[in-house]
C-alpha cells in the first residue's frame, strides 16, 4: 500500500515541469467508479482547467486548479504514470488526463481501492476533518504524543497508525520506528513514558525522512510516477525479517499480527 513517503514521491514526480503542461484538454474515464463512483461533473469540470499546484495531505494527492480542489487517494494499489504521445491502454488503467503539451497522466489501480473527489474551491474538505497532524511538522511533538496516549489502552503500534492521532505512519514505517525507539509494538499506549514518546517521535520523523530520500519502499511492486522503484526496503531493520538476526543483539526477529497487519520486532531490544 502506498504510504506517506510513496505518496510524497509521486507528488514530486508529477510536479516536475508542471508549468509546461498547459491546460487539461481531455479527461477520459475508463470506468465509472473506483472504490467510490467518480464525481459526475469530473470530466466537464476539469477540462479547460490548469493545474496550479500539487500538494499532499496525509495520503491524499491534492491538485489545485483555478476553480477546484481535485483529490486522489491511492488506496492499496493506485499508481500514476506519465506518458508522452499516443496512449496505449494497459490493464487496470482507469483514468487519464491529457494536457495541451501532449503529455498525459494515467491512473491505474488493480484492486480499485483508490478514489477521487472534486471539490469547489472555498468549500470544506470532509475527507480531511478527522485527520491528525502531519508527522514531519512541528505540531507532531513528543509532548503531543505523550498527552494523546494517556488513558489509551490500544497497542502503541496501532495507536501511531491511527490517522486521527498522526497521519501517514504506515505499517512498514511503524515497525521500523518502534524498533529504532526500542519500544515493543504491543506495549499499551498509556504506558508510554515521556522519554519513550520523545524517542518514538524522533524515530518516526527519522524513518520517514530516510524513506523520502530513498523514494519510498518497493514492497508489493510500488513504483513512482516516473515508473521508478523506491529502495528504502534495502535498509529495513525488522520489517519482513522474521527469523533473521536482529542487527543489534543477533536474536531472531519475531512476527506477530496486530489489527490484521504483520508486525516485526525484536523481543530483546524492544520493551
Return the minimum-mean-pLDDT range out of 42-46, 83-87, 265-269.
Answer: 83-87
Distance between CA atoms of residues 240 and 76, nearest Å: 18
Q: What pLDDT score does 214 carry? A: 83
Q: What pLDDT score does 217 carry? A: 57
Q: Do 142-265 and 4-128 fall under one CATH topology?
A: no
On the 0-12 / 13-18 / 19+ scale of CB atoms within 10 A, 139 is exposed
Q: What pLDDT score does 85 carry? A: 80
Query: Parallel, antiparallel, or unpaired: how do β-strands 79-84 and 93-99 relate?
Result: unpaired
Distance between CA atoms of residues 92 and 107, nearest Å: 9
Residues designated catalytic: 2-3, 59, 261
Which residues lie across from 61 on neighbouring strands? 56, 72
Task: Tell me the pLDDT tens digit for each residue of 153-168.
Answer: 999 999 999 999 999 9
Q: Which CATH architecture has domain 142-265?
A: Orthogonal Bundle (1.10)
Q: What pLDDT score does 87 carry? A: 79
Confidence of residue 132 (pLDDT cuts 50, 70, 90): very high
Distance between CA atoms of residues 96 and 92, nearest Å: 12
What is the rounded average pLDDT for all residues in the chain? 93
Q: What pLDDT score does 233 carry? A: 67
Q: What pLDDT score does 2 carry? A: 80
Distance between CA atoms of residues 205 and 141, nearest Å: 10
pTM: 0.88
Check pLDDT > 80 for residue 228: no
Q: Where are the domains of the chain?
A: 4-128, 142-265
Task: Tell me the pLDDT tens digit for each residue of 239-260.
Answer: 999 999 999 999 999 999 999 9
Task: Tell me the pLDDT tens digit for each residue of 60-69.
Answer: 999 999 999 9
Check pLDDT > 90 for residue 234: no
Task: Tell me the pLDDT tens digit for each residue of 4-17.
Answer: 998 999 999 999 98
Q: What pLDDT score does 263 carry? A: 98
Q: What pLDDT score does 215 carry? A: 74
Q: What pLDDT score does 3 carry? A: 85
Check pLDDT > 60 for residue 218: no
* CATH code for the part of the protein at 4-128: 3.20.190.10
Q: What pLDDT score does 220 carry? A: 47
Q: What is the mean pLDDT of residues 211-225?
A: 61
Phi-psi region of 225 (alpha: psi -120 to 50; beta: other; left: phi over 0): alpha
Task: Tell me the pLDDT tens digit for each residue of 174-211.
Answer: 999 999 999 999 999 999 999 999 999 999 999 999 99
Amino acid at each position: 500500500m502506498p504510504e506517506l513517503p510513496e505518496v510524497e514521491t509521486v507528488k514530486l514526480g508529477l510536479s516536475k515541469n508542471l508549468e509546461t503542461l498547459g491546460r487539461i484538454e481531455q479527461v477520459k474515464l475508463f470506468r465509472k467508479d473506483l472504490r467510490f463512483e467518480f464525481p459526475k461533473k469530473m470530466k466537464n469540470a476539469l477540462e479547460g482547467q490548469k493545474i496550479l499546484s500539487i500538494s499532499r495531505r496525509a495520503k491524499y494527492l491534492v491538485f489545485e486548479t483555478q476553480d477546484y480542489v481535485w483529490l486522489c487517494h491511492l488506496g492499496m494499489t493506485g499508481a500514476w504514470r506519465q506518458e508522452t504521445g499516443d496512449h496505449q491502454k494497459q490493464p487496470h488503467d482507469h483514468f487519464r488526463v491529457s494536457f495541451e503539451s501532449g503529455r498525459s497522466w494515467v491512473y491505474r489501480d488493480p484492486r480499485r481501492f483508490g478514489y477521487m473527489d472534486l471539490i469547489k474551491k472555498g468549500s470544506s474538505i470532509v475527507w480531511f476533518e478527522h485527520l491528525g497532524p502531519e508527522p514531519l511538522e512541528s505540531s507532531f511533538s513528543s509532548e503531543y504524543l505523550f498527552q494523546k496516549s494517556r488513558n489509551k489502552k490500544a497497542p502503541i503500534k496501532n495507536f501511531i497508525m491511527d490517522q486521527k492521532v498522526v497521519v501517514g505512519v504506515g505499517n512498514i514505517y511503524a515497525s521500523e520506528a518502534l524498533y529504532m525507539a526500542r519500544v515493543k509494538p504491543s506495549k499499551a499506549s498509556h504506558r508510554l513514558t515521556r522519554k519513550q514518546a520523545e524517542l518514538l517521535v524522533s524515530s518516526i520523523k527519522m524513518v520517514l525522512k530516510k524513506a523520502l530520500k530513498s523514494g519510498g519502499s518497493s514492497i508489493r511492486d510500488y513504483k513512482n510516477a516516473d515508473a521508478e522503484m523506491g529502495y528504502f526496503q534495502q535498509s529495513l531493520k525488522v520489517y519482513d525479517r522474521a527469523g533473521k538476526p536482529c542487527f543489534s543483539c543477533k536474536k531472531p526477529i519475531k512476527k506477530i499480527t496486530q489489527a490484521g497487519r504483520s508486525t516485526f520486532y525484536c523481543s530483546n531490544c524492544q520493551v
